[in-house]
Amino acid sequence: MILLTSLTLILLLAILIPPTSPSPSPTSSDHDIQTLKHLKQFRTPSGFRQSMPKLIASVRKGPGKRDWVTMQYIAGGYHQMARKLNSAGGLEEEENQTLKLVVATYKMAESVYVDWLSLGEDDYPQLEYVMERTTVLRHWGDALKSLGMEDEAEMVWRKGVEEGLWKREMCRPEREVEVVGEGKWFYELEEVFETKVVERIRSSIEGVREEYVADVEAGRGPETWKKEEAGLHSTKSWSQLPLYVDGDRKTVVCDERYKKTCEVFGPKNFDGAAKGQVKFSVMEGNTYVRPHAGPTMERLRLHCSIVGAVGADSWIRVGNEKRRWDVGGCFVFDESCEHEVSITEVVDGGEYRVVLIADLANVFLKDFDDYREARWEGGGG
């Protein structure tokens, strides 16, 4: 954490200087060759820490001042740092300063990008590493919203609609795909699953609860689970226990602790998402998950409340609709649409709100090939 904070402070001193006069568009040069190396390094695990100072130096030099691709990577690096600062806790001021850098750098990159589009030039080697436009708009808008600049965030997301990237500002996947119907924020089980699957899910809840209680009594409760580290929540605590990740079964957890749960929500009985999870999600009272939109339309997300009745003012919001969890009840929502969670208190059933989350292939995908790719191999149900 000391290392991360120190790096943040160093980068805060390296604020980009916008060009004071028109500069030529980037051309192939030794400068570009070095920049390409740094962009490649950025894409490696944790590579942004090593590449960020080099990319900042690149932009501050001559032709780099017109290098909007590199500016976007720098903004993306700040975005990663802000998430890490949030997950560390107790560093709100450092996080806010970093979010301001995200916003300022994306804004600068956008200005240069618009100028570049108007020139219509293609002699720009950095295009090999261009960031997805949806990623830019997602990160930029998220930073604005985290800073309380909601109107500005909506303006950024509106760009995505105007450019044909998204159909709704509230739903911001990395890639828009065709679906049947207009789409809803929430779905009842009967709208998504066949009758036999609905019955299987509902009849399984008590068995899932029994396995969870047995796990707690064996000293393997939520306090031993992995804390959420994506920088999405604040205040109290949010822990998770994965059972399946991208179709990969967590053998020890499933065989020794949650055999029934893993069977019901495994590939023989459930059309899970190829890129998704089946997991327990546990939150204490006074936990808040900031607004965010999932990256893909290829999956929907199932929530089943297992343990822990929450207060009347606890909720999950998806789009412009809010719902509460009723113990033993389930619902499905479109995770690619903006959602946030507020757990004010757990009023019955212990100190935790326990939800079983299961990602499923989006049954509303219009193209069957999209659906086939979205579901995990061997999916059934």
Position 64 pLDDT exceeds 90 = no
Of the segments 5-14, 65-74, 145-154, which one has the largest average pLDDT value?
145-154
The token duo for 124 is: 């720009």
User: Residue ranges of the domains in the chain?
Assistant: 2-162, 186-374
Q: What is the pLDDT of residue 19?
A: 40
Give the lowest-confidence range in 4-8, 15-19, 116-120.
15-19
350-371, pLDDT tens digit by residue?
889 999 999 999 999 999 999 9
What mean pLDDT do residues 181-206 have?
A: 95
Q: For strands 321-323 and 287-292, give the pairing.
A: unpaired
Give the lowest-confidence range in 59-68, 141-150, 197-206, 323-332.
59-68
Rounded to whole angstroms, the Cα distance separating 102 from 81 reads: 10
The percent of residues above 70 in pLDDT, for the chain, comes to 89
Give the residue from 273, 263, 323 showing the smallest Cα distance to 294: 273
- In angstroms, what CA-CA distances link 296 with 73, 92, 172, 207? 21, 29, 8, 31
Q: What is the pLDDT of residue 165?
A: 97
Rounded to whole angstroms, the Cα distance separating 197 from 363 reads: 13
282-301, pLDDT tens digit by residue?
999 999 999 999 999 999 99
What mean pLDDT do residues 89-100 have?
A: 87
CATH homologous superfamily of domain 186-374?
B-lactam Antibiotic, Isopenicillin N Synthase; Chain (2.60.120.330)
CA angle 290, 295, 296 (to 5 degrees): 135
Rounded to whole angstroms, the Cα distance separating 13 from 244 reads: 43
Q: What is the pLDDT of residue 236?
A: 67
The model's pTM is 0.87
Rounded to whole angstroms, the Cα distance separating 73 from 42 reads: 8
Q: Between 311 and 198, whose confidence is greater?
A: 198
95-134, pLDDT tens digit by residue?
999 999 999 999 999 999 998 888 876 778 888 899 999 9
What mean pLDDT do residues 297-319 have?
A: 95
330-356, pLDDT tens digit by residue?
999 999 999 999 999 998 878 899 999
